[in-house]
Amino acid sequence: MRRTTRTIKHQQVCTILAGLLWFVALMLSFVPASPPAVTIVLYSLTIALSAIRMLSPVWHSLRKLSLDMNLLMTAAVIGALLLGEWAEGALILWLFALADWIEDKSMARTSRAIESLMQLAPDRVRLLRDDESEWLVPPEDVPTGSRIRLQPGERVGLDARILSGCSQIMQAQVTGEPMPVEVTPGDKVYAGSINGNGVLLLETMRPAGDSTVARIVKLVQEARRTKAPMQKTVERFALFYTPLVFATAILITAIPVLLFQQPLHLWGYRSLVVLLVGCPCAFIIATPITLVSGLTVAARCGILIKGGAALEQADRIKAMVFDKTGTLTTGKPLVQKVMNLPGNTPSEILGMAAAISGGSGHLLGNALREHCMQHQIPIPAASAVTLRPGFGAQGVLHNQTHLVGRMNAFAPTALPMAWREDLNQLGQAGYALVCVGTPESVCGVIALADSVRPEAPGALQKLKTLGLHHLALLSGDHQDAVDTLARHLPLDIARGGCLPAAKLEALHAMQQQYGITAMIGDGINDAPALAGADLGIAMGAGSDQALETADIALITDDIGCLPLLMQIARKTTKRVKCNIALALILKFGFLAIASIGFASLWMAVLADMGASLIVITSGLHLLREDISAHGSAMHKC
């Protein structure tokens, strides 16, 4: 159980006081005139203060008849006192209490590293009422769907969507993105982010307790309570190892004393040394503290890993399956090409299309309007705009009726013959075609398509460099569009027309052929494959179903984090294995020395505490270490 800060401080006071009493008793033992009873009382007080922390776990172990490290330590102390070794018995318990306090401080540090995120959100937000009045209220009191105003320099109080205004948002503490992000209406902002120099009107998306930051903290806390496979393996080993050490210690005393009439004090002392050296705390603590450090580093970088088991699995990935829309692509249609007849420039074609369809609410109409605004293309005033479902929209521009929409909205002869072949090729490649003109004559065609994420080619290539030699694309889009995308990416296979059941079937086939397979997606239709994969990874801006189903969520919505995820997983699991190996080598090496009598009780405790401190320090070092093998992958931290 993780202890509170107050408990840790109380333990610190007791440990420091016990150490001072032990030192005073040791000094008095060298004073000839000092009564032995005084030193025994001081050693007893040292033992009492040091044992406060151990009483509950020792009683728990006795009730369950479980031979664990607490009972080993207790047996060693009692044995030392029976042999008259008061100084060493008190030192054993004090050093154990010191190591336990350092361990608690270390775990508290990993807790603070992630829980400090909860302090990012402000305690008041500017809530707008129906009468446009502004009230400062706690974020917990703001219902979902409320409007809040964000002034320059203020922190965002809740996860929200921008209704109006433009600004720059610094969200490094939440998503790991080191540079300010330009935000416009429709963009999402996260609680804890810092606003730039613009005034923003926001609409809250979820309650304060369900914000992105709160979910990160909650899931990392849950991850601490769940044990990773490596941790379970170590604890199973300790179940057999600890009784073996206890039995060995008994035999070290029993055989020489009972069979060969050797001195009880000599061999009893050696058995106590073996008990202390064999204490399994070093390799037990090696796993959880390192895994929690790895989870914390990942969360700082915008990678939410739901437990140590998922972190371990990320280290073992052999193949990856990607969804297309919203994963390898931006998920938003962008203008790719404009075809125009003489008399109208491409900018004029785009302006006319945005004037008529930009206010329709249609995905393509919104994309055209945003394109014109971003590129400062004038949008003329249109009148009498009406929607024609299934065809497009029409309106009056320059006193003439214009249409914007599909080719079937125009007369059969409206489209220039010279364009037909090119348009057929664009249509087969997956482009959405928007025609602009009068009912009798098309004067321009705009081709829009979902674009490849800028970071995708580099991320996939780096995954191959890291050893993932099979990367697959499974999409519900038609094959031509998938083939067009695949030409820009280092994919081994690209398959279109995959419904959710087909994705899952193809995923199972890859698992049988390549082994551990990860699935990366963002939509509702990806949820079955995310659940069926050995490791499900959801994009941060994806559907709630995908985020809930996945084992890992990329809060940054950036697949460039995938190589970083693998590097964190590999570094963490490698560190765990090294720590366990180091602890076992130190244990068995010192056991060999102790069994032949070349070690004392205090040396045994120092060896055990030293091994624990080494693995704790090694695990905590992940919190500040550059995980990347290439020197730059941790830039987002």
Would you list the DSSP string of 221-265?
HHHHHSPPHHHHHHHHHHHHHHHHHHHHHHHHHHIIIIIH---HH
DSSP letters for 332-369:
EEEEEEEEE-TTS-HHHHHHHHHHHHTTS--HHHHHHH
pLDDT for 619 equals 78
Largest CA distance in the chain: 119
629 pLDDT band, cuts 50/70/90, is very low
* Domain covering 330-452, topology: Calcium-transporting ATPase, cytoplasmic domain N (3.40.1110)
**Is residue 578 exposed (0-12), middle (13-18) or buried (19+ Cβ within 10 Å)?**
middle
**CA nearest neighbour of 549 among 524, 516, 518, 515:** 524
Q: In what order do the strands lie in the sheet with 147-150?
A: 134-137, 125-128, 147-150, 200-204, 160-164, 188-189
DSSP letters for 18-71:
HHHHHHHHHHHTT-TTS-HHHHHHHHHHHHHHHHTTTHHHHHHHHHHT---HHH
Judged by DSSP in three states, 555 sits in coil
Judged by DSSP in three states, 441 sits in strand
The region, left, alpha or beta by phi > 0 then psi within -120 to 50, assigned to residue 607 is alpha
Q: Phi, psi at residue 395, to the nearest 5°?
A: -165, 175
DSSP letters for 80-121:
HHHTT-HHHHHHHHHHHHHHHHHHHHHHHHHHHHHHGGGGSS
Instruction: Identify the weakest region by mean pLDDT among 14-18, 228-232, 390-394.
Output: 228-232
For the record, the structure tokens of 35 come out as 């009564």
The region, left, alpha or beta by phi > 0 then psi within -120 to 50, assigned to residue 410 is beta
463 or 602, greater pLDDT:
463
pLDDT for 176 equals 45
pLDDT for 637 equals 39
pLDDT at 7 over 60: yes
Specify whether the CB–CB gap between 83 and 265 falls below 8 A.
Answer: yes
Q: Is 323 assigned a catalytic role?
A: yes
pLDDT for 322 equals 94
Angle between the N-to-C axes of helices 264-277 and 601-620, in degrees from 0 to 180, rounded to the nearest 10 = 0
**Is residue 188 exposed (0-12), middle (13-18) or buried (19+ Cβ within 10 Å)?**
middle
pLDDT digit string (tens) for 555-571?
A: 777 888 999 999 999 99
- Spatial separation of the C-alpha atoms in residues 517 and 319, rounded to whole Å: 5
Q: Is the sign of the CA dihedral 275, 277, 279, 280 positive or negative?
A: negative
Burial annotation 12-48 (CB, 10 A radius, 16+ → b, else e): eebbeebbebbebbbeebeeeeeeeeebbebbbbbbe
CATH of 125-210, one of 2.70.150.10, 3.10.20.30, 3.40.50.970, 3.40.1550.10: 2.70.150.10
- Residue ranges of the chain that CATH labels 2.70.150.10: 125-210
pLDDT digit string (tens) for 471-525?
A: 999 987 778 778 888 888 999 999 988 877 788 889 989 999 999 999 998 765 6
- Residue ranges of the chain that CATH labels 3.40.1110.10: 330-452
- Spatial separation of the C-alpha atoms in residues 534 and 142, rounded to whole Å: 39
pLDDT at 172 over 80: no
Q: Which whole number is the average pLDDT over 416-423? A: 88
Specify whether the CB–CB gap between 102 and 615 falls below 8 A.
Answer: no
Query: Which are the contacts of 35, defined by CB distance < 8 A and separation ≥ 6?
Result: none
pLDDT at 631 over 50: no
User: Percentage of residues in the chain with pLDDT exceeding 90?
Assistant: 20
Query: Which run of H or of E encompasses 506?
Result: helix 500-514
Specify whether the CB–CB gap between 297 and 495 falls below 8 A.
Answer: no
- Spatial separation of the C-alpha atoms in residues 377 and 368, rounded to whole Å: 10
pLDDT for 635 equals 39
Q: In what order do the strands lie in the sheet with 319-322?
A: 303-305, 552-554, 535-539, 517-521, 319-322, 470-474, 493-495
- Spatial separation of the C-alpha atoms in residues 44 and 32, rounded to whole Å: 20
Q: Phi, psi at residue 545, to the nearest 5°?
A: -60, -45
The whole-angstrom distance between residue 156's C-alpha and the CA centroid of its chain comes to: 21
Judged by DSSP in three states, 170 sits in strand
In sequence order, the β-bridge partners of residue 194 are 155, 170
Alpha-carbon distances, residue 164 vs 101, 129, 184, 185 (angstroms): 52, 16, 7, 5
For the record, the structure tokens of 427 come out as 């249509």
Angle between the N-to-C axes of helices 5-28 and 36-51, in degrees from 0 to 180, rounded to the nearest 10 = 160
596 pLDDT band, cuts 50/70/90, is confident
The region, left, alpha or beta by phi > 0 then psi within -120 to 50, assigned to residue 145 is left
406 or 229, greater pLDDT:
406
- Spatial separation of the C-alpha atoms in residues 242 and 28, rounded to whole Å: 37
- Spatial separation of the C-alpha atoms in residues 174 and 232, rounded to whole Å: 31
Q: Which residue is catalytic, options 68, 159, 323, 477? A: 323
pLDDT at 161 over 50: yes
